[in-house]
Chains A and B, each alone.
Chain A
Amino acid sequence: MSKFKDAEHLVRLAMAFALVAAVFLLVRAHFIPKSFGQYGHYRGDALAELADKPLHYAGHQTCETCHSDVLELKKAGKHVGVNCESCHGPLARHAEDPASVVPQLPDTAVLCARCHETNLAKPKNFPQVVSAEHSGGVVCKTCHQPHNPLLPQESGKTGGKQS
């Protein structure tokens, strides 16, 4: 028994350790989110939050459910790979509520030049024009139908459809 004559010191020490450990665990439980470490060293709930952000672009599949006529028109021409919202802008809200959100028609004078204005850095096989020489300021859609832009006199060569 004489060996444990200082036992009360040890009890005090043990209580101090227990207190520190308890405070540590409480603080830890309070500050670390429940999902931390679910998939890795980060908050697992963040994945669901980031996956839940709102859409702005509806996607061409959504557009085509209603506008299948335009899809048919595009299929006949070179613009078949150009998705609707690439020119018409983000229209997820139009897809949700077609009646009240009406998209504006893009200005072809600006729109077409973004892709088709001549630039040395563009791939050589991509159709390019210097718009000032090509049309002299006349708006593109005066002659070209944007969904199938090949002109009627050219259509024989590539099988393009007239509109």
Chain B
Amino acid sequence: MITRRKMLVLLPAAAVAWKFVLAGTPAEAPGYHPSTPTAGALGTPGYDHSQHWWGMLLDIDKCIGCGSCVRACSNENNVPEGYFRTWVERYHVSGWEQEVPQVDSPNGALNGFPPSKFEGGKNFFVPKMCNHCKDSPCTQVCPVGATLHTPDGVVLVDEKYCLGCRYCIQACPYGCRFLNPTKRTAEKCSLCYHRITKGLTTACCENCPTGARQLVDLKDPNDPIHEYLKTHSVQVLKPHLATGAKAFYHDLDGSVR
């Protein structure tokens, strides 16, 4: 027997249920198959993003601080002047005080570095970029779904959807994001998504003269990264934050933040 009380509960429940019925119809969500993304859906024939899992290897021992990567990134991605999607830092660690390294990065190392002032101690360069974290804090805080994690492991910004609220810029523990001063949207390293989906390497890797930066595909069984990870000491930045960072640093000094 339907009572008035039952009716009051059933009507809104039916309304909610109808909403889900509509949401499940093809007109509302075309091709919703999260486990089987369409091959070549990126407008690039032959690219299946379920077959890749991108990351980068950065070799501290090979970096000469020439800034080729920074210039390449700027040119390739039209990075506004004074902002950097990748940059190089120079570290000087004088002794036991690992917590207070001296770090400089004049203009992001766009034009390389002036000679080091410090004799003695440890001096080295550290290229920095988006770590393309598996569990990235920046995508978790985006209120509108404008920062996204692609099925092939790249963290990207949908600039048409970004509101410019800057939450992600504050959330990134690696300081890899900035607000584009003209577009007023968040911007960051895209791991040259327009290149890697076409079978090219990133602009920074293409232009690194010493091979200090290497694009790696962790889903490719033939990628030399697998052998490299087994035989070399490799770390990520800020491992205690459990971001699942995929920028792997070889011979990273403990002082690097």
Contact = CB atoms under 8 A, between A and B. Distances in A.
Interface of A: 3, 6, 10, 13-14, 17-18, 20-21, 24-25, 29, 34-44, 46-57, 59-60, 79, 81-83, 85-86, 89-90, 114-115, 117-123, 126
A62 B49 CA distance: 24
A119 B115 contact: yes
Contacts of A6: 4
18 contacts: A13-B8, A38-B34, A39-B37, A40-B34, A40-B149, A42-B147, A43-B145, A47-B41, A48-B41, A51-B42, A52-B194, A55-B200, A83-B209, A86-B206, A114-B112, A117-B112, A119-B115, A122-B64
A40 B151 CA distance: 9
B99 to A, nearest CB: 20
Contacts of B195: 55, 57, 59
Contacts of A126: 64, 210
A30 B209 CA distance: 50
Contacts of A53: 77, 193-194
Interface of B: 3-4, 7-8, 11-12, 15, 18-19, 22, 28-32, 34, 37, 41-44, 47, 49, 61-68, 72, 75-77, 90-92, 111-113, 115-116, 118-119, 123-125, 145-151, 156, 158, 160-161, 190, 193-195, 197-198, 200-201, 203, 206-211
Contacts of B49: 47
A81 B145 contact: no
A123 B190 CA distance: 29
B65 A55 contact: no
Given A21-B19, A53-B194, A120-B116, A42 B72 contact: no
A86 B145 contact: no
Given A35-B30, A49-B160, A119-B116, A59 B123 contact: no
Given A56-B76, A86-B209, A21 B42 contact: no
Given A40-B149, A41-B145, A50-B156, A121 B125 contact: yes
Contact of B62 (A42, A48, A56, A123): A123
Given A46-B158, A120-B123, A121-B124, A59 B90 contact: no
A59 B204 CA distance: 11
A59 B200 contact: yes
A41 B62 CA distance: 39
Shortest Cβ-Cβ A-B pairs, 8 listed = A42-B148, A46-B158, A120-B116, A121-B123, A53-B194, A42-B145, A86-B207, A82-B209
A128 to B, nearest CB: 8
Given A40-B34, A47-B41, 19 more contacts: A17-B12, A24-B19, A29-B28, A36-B145, A38-B29, A39-B37, A40-B148, A47-B148, A49-B158, A50-B158, A51-B42, A52-B43, A55-B198, A60-B206, A86-B209, A90-B75, A120-B115, A120-B116, A121-B116
A51 B197 contact: yes
Contact of B64 (A17, A57, A115): A115
A123 B63 CA distance: 7
Contact of B207 (A37, A46, A79, A85): A85
Given A42-B145, A126-B64, A81 B123 contact: no
A10 B194 contact: no
Nearest to B59: A123
A14 B7 CA distance: 9
A3 to B, nearest CB: 8
Contacts of A55: 76, 194-195, 198, 200
A11 to B, nearest CB: 10
Contacts of A46: 148, 156, 158, 160-161
